[in-house]
């Protein structure tokens, strides 16, 4: 073992250790830790990766001396996917803990006292608020926060208001890539299960699916597009509807892993082999994608990294406000990845079992 490694493992990791591992200067690491906005996205990602690898935590007392009072952020959630929510909370709580930020987590069901819940957080002395889907697209919550002058970061929407920070992937491109992948495998009839109508990402994923079919000269069949609500039960109902068609699809692409897992369950109940008789693909790459059989081919949306980035962006916006610095709200787009597992294959036709 080298002297450098002995030193690194002999005690608590330092900012110099993080800088050395990330290949940057200690000052750059400090800028990332303090959520300053004048750091390139790829540099920020390298520093964050080094921080996680070394399990580095900044000194809270030093952070408060440098930046003033401890930041207090609110996180409003209302997500039907427990797997998505779990990954999001783990990422945001991890980043908040490392940056000595107090994170107040509050449930706020869409359509159920959204304004009252947001106002209660504001009265509690929140410095800023993070909104994951579906609240990232809630006009009521966004208008309430705007009226109160509360800095806000929305996550997973491709149409953020210009005055709020945003973290997202390119949902349209991701759905386009997955649909093209299924077409390349030889699938001519691809069922698509949409997400909630009130979430902008749902429309983007549907648009990507349709654009891929059009680009390959395939007809658009409205019967192959069925609604879902991003929860398991809605996926069951949607898959039943698709497989009840007189000419059912040979592949189902669901807008999240929960609905894809439900589609696999419906296929198994009907005596269909996945992927031999039916290919099923999802979106998110949540923990659920690798806990069912077969494991899901899916789009990896870096949920935990998106939530970490949201905490960092909001902290940067709050520090800029303290220093009376003005600028455009930061918008960050992270990469997605198509992950192939065991749930997709070239189509084959054989008599299907209709019994439920």
- Given a cut of 70, whether residue 356 has pLDDT beyond it is no
Calculate helix-pair angle for 257-269, 82-98, nearest 10 degrees: 150
d(CA 24, CA 33): 13
What is the three-state SS of 27-90?
HHHHHHHCCCCCCCHHHHHHHHHHHHHHCCCCCHHHHHHHHCCCCEEEEEECCCCHHHHHHHHH
pTM over 0.85: no
pLDDT band at 192 (very low <50, low <70, confident <90, very high): very high
% of the chain exceeding 90 in pLDDT:
63
Give the position of tokens 């608020």.
Answer: 129
Average pLDDT, whole number, for the chain?
Answer: 87
Mean pLDDT lowest among 3-7, 79-83, 121-125: 3-7
- Given a cut of 60, whether residue 1 has pLDDT beyond it is no
> 15 Cβ partners below 8 Å, 6+ apart?
26, 29, 30, 33, 56, 58
Burial (CB count within 10 angstroms: exposed 0-12, middle 13-18, buried 19+), residue 1 = exposed
* Residue 33 token pair: 């830790």
Mean local confidence (pLDDT), 60-69: 50
Element (H, E) at 131: strand 128-131
Q: Where are the domains of the chain?
A: 1-56, 171-301
CATH for the stretch 1-56:
1.10.260.40
pLDDT, tens digit (0-9, with 9 covering 90-100), for 245-295 = 999 999 999 999 999 999 999 999 999 999 999 999 999 999 999 999 999
C-alpha dihedral over 62, 34, 55, 107, to 10 degrees?
110
- Given a cut of 60, whether residue 65 has pLDDT beyond it is no
Q: Which CATH homologous superfamily contains domain 171-301? A: Response regulator (3.40.50.2300)
d(CA 89, CA 46): 22
């Amino acid at each position: 073992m080298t002297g450098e490694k002995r030193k690194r493992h002999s005690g608590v990791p330092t900012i110099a250790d993080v800088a050395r591992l990330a290949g940057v200067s200690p000052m750059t690491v400090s800028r990332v830790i303090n959520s300053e906005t004048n750091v390139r996205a790829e540099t920020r990602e390298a520093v964050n990766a080094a921080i996680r690898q070394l399990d580095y935590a900044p000194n809270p007392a030093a952070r408060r001396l440098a930046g003033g009072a401890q930041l207090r952020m609110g996180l409003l959630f209302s997500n039907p996917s427990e797997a998505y929510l779990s990954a999001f909370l783990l990422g945001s709580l991890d980043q908040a803990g490392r940056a000595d930020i107090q994170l107040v987590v509050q449930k706020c069901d869409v359509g159920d006292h959204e304004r009252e819940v947001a106002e209660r957080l504001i009265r509690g002395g929140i410095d800023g608020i993070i909104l994951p889907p579906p609240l990232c697209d809630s006009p009521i919550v966004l208008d309430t926060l705007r009226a109160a002058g509360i800095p806000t970061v929305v996550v997973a929407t491709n149409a953020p208001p210009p005055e709020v920070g945003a973290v997202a992937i390119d949902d349209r491109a991701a759905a386009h890539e997955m649909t093209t992948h299924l077409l390349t495998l030889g699938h001519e009839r691809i069922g698509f299960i949409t997400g909630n109508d009130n979430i902008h990402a749902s429309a983007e994923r549907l648009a990507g699916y349709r654009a891929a079919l059009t680009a390959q000269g395939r007809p658009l069949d409205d019967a192959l597009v069925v609604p879902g609500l991003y929860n398991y039960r809605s996926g069951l109902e949607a898959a039943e509807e698709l497989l009840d068609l007189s000419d059912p699809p040979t592949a189902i692409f669901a807008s999240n892993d929960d609905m894809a897992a439900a589609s696999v369950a419906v296929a198994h109940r009907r005596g269909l082999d996945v992927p031999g008789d039916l290919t099923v693909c999802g979106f998110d790459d949540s923990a659920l994608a690798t806990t069912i059989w077969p494991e899901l081919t899916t789009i990896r949306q870096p949920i935990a990294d998106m939530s970490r980035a949201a905490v960092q962006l909001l902290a940067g916006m709050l520090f800029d406000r303290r220093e009376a610095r003005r600028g455009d709200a930061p918008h960050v787009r992270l990469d997605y990845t198509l992950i192939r597992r065991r749930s997709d294959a070239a189509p084959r036709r054989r008599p299907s079992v209709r019994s439920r």
